[in-house]
Chains A and B, each alone.
Chain A
């Protein structure tokens, strides 16, 4: 089985994140990190491949879990983390023309990389996290499925692959569904079911020896005009940090504070 897990290197949520003059997120801080939700995707990918024999003593012949990222040079750190967790190989798509790509343009590049991997050795599953914690759009998995023309099985919390059929369980806002589709398919996973393993020392040491391929847009045959700012159909026209609020109310005490709160709610039309 061959699994490709898409991961993203993002600013740490706890850090002071900001937008630059161009309205783009300022990246490249020291505490940029692997998007936490992609650890769940990698865990899901590893477990699914392991169920098929990946990582067994015989070397898990024929099984492979590749971590894939599109991003500037420091994004290789996200791949290192993925390799330390147990992925076997890594692909880093990096090109100056990629700067400013929106989610859809990014999905096009990921799709080109998946297609190249698929041509080398068929891919069964592409797994992504449910959202990247910077942009929080959740657009990439469905867009990636659309570009590849593969079925989408998103927001899965259970995955099973048998006889070339991929089956997932998912909860939508109204239903619990079990969906199935033939491989290759594009999946995204929630953060509910695949609590990620911690890389151990052995994994971290082994990760240093694992291969990271670096591909440019030319390697993928992607026209630079279709990515980056030029290939993105949206741009940030304005960005401003929200001013400090001056009208906040803070009261201290227990039940005796309630009348004032009721008055406040009533002024706002809630009581």
Chain B
């Protein structure tokens, strides 16, 4: 048996969620004795980063005949490595839309059981079992896989990424495969990078400050607090629908699902659609002037107050503390 990790990368850089996957794989390897195989689809692997996070082998697979970024191409590459290894019992992917689609196609091809949005994984009675919080944060479950391969899509920040003191001696293995017909059928007419902000990416950020309808069009208080906390800025659907901030900032069931270590919501009511996308945050702070706002039912720390007063005072106090 062995453990495989799909290493996501953007512009040649490993995504932070993949470092978390590698860290979890190493933790599981230390208790089970299983080897860890990292899988990189496409060219130019960042081998030193993978080694620093302790993979035993790095499999680089080139997919020929289709755009290598397409989900189906990634699945073709991943399947090639899984077939070559023959003994992978756990595959870890990030629980993003892309990661879940990879998991779905692979599950159909291999009969694997899939658990998405997992907060942890363990081997129990010979079955990989993933913990997962469901129904907008109201139930905790453990889902086990009956199949010989389990695919677990791990939520961001479920584990904290930690490089080794001394990098592993990671073996490099190269593979190539012809893309499947379904991948070859799709062509990319255009692909433009989305404008990137200086702030951390929402889905991966450790701290997220979210503004809702209560900011009434002015995100500056939210942005300033975010900057002093080194946080990403998020928004409710109301704020994005109003055009106060771009749609990519939407947090919730139909926006980005986040699980940061700290969530701060200002002028956010905590509607169930929003809650579903952020209830997995480890610490939730809410600032809202309505004591009956639903967010206070699941916030760890609530301030019933006016955000136009609280946000600037909080930003100033944090700044003063940092000196």
Contacts and interface: CB of A to CB of B under 8 A. Distances in A.
A222 interface: no
Contact of A254 (B187, B193, B310): B310
A213 interface: no
Contacts of B100: 137-139, 142
Q: Is the interface of A mostly helix, strand, loop or mixed?
A: mixed
Contacts of A253: 303-305
Interface in B179-198: 181-182, 185-194
A230 to B, nearest CB: 10
B182 A151 contact: yes
Interface of B is mostly: mixed
Interface residues of A, number: 84
Contacts of A147: 108
Interface in B231-277: 247-248, 253-254, 256, 261-262, 272-273, 276
Interface string A227-271: 000001111111111100101111111110111011011101011
Contacts of B262: 265, 268, 270
Nearest to A165: B187
Name the residue among B129, B142, B147 with the largest chain A CB count within 10 angstroms.
B142
Q: Which of A19, A237, A240 has the most B CB atoms < 10 Å from its CB?
A: A237
A104 B254 contact: no
Interface size of B as a range = 35 or more
B187 A179 contact: yes
A247 B300 contact: yes
Given A179-B188, A233-B112, A237-B129, A252 B304 contact: yes
Contact of A150 (B114, B134, B182): B182
Nearest to A233: B113
A177 interface: yes
Given A139-B116, A151-B185, A176-B192, A258 B310 contact: yes
B105 A145 contact: yes
B298 to A, nearest CB: 8
B188 A131 contact: no
Nearest 5 pairs of A and B residues by beta carbon: A233-B113, A254-B309, A255-B313, A142-B101, A234-B113
Given A139-B114, A142-B104, A171-B247, 10 more contacts: A13-B276, A102-B114, A141-B101, A174-B10, A175-B191, A175-B192, A179-B70, A179-B187, A253-B304, A270-B207
Interface of B: 10, 70-72, 75, 96-98, 100-105, 107-109, 111-117, 124, 129, 133-147, 181-182, 185-194, 201, 203, 207, 229, 247-248, 253-254, 256, 261-262, 272-273, 276, 283, 285, 291, 296, 298-306, 309-310, 313-314, 317-318, 321-322
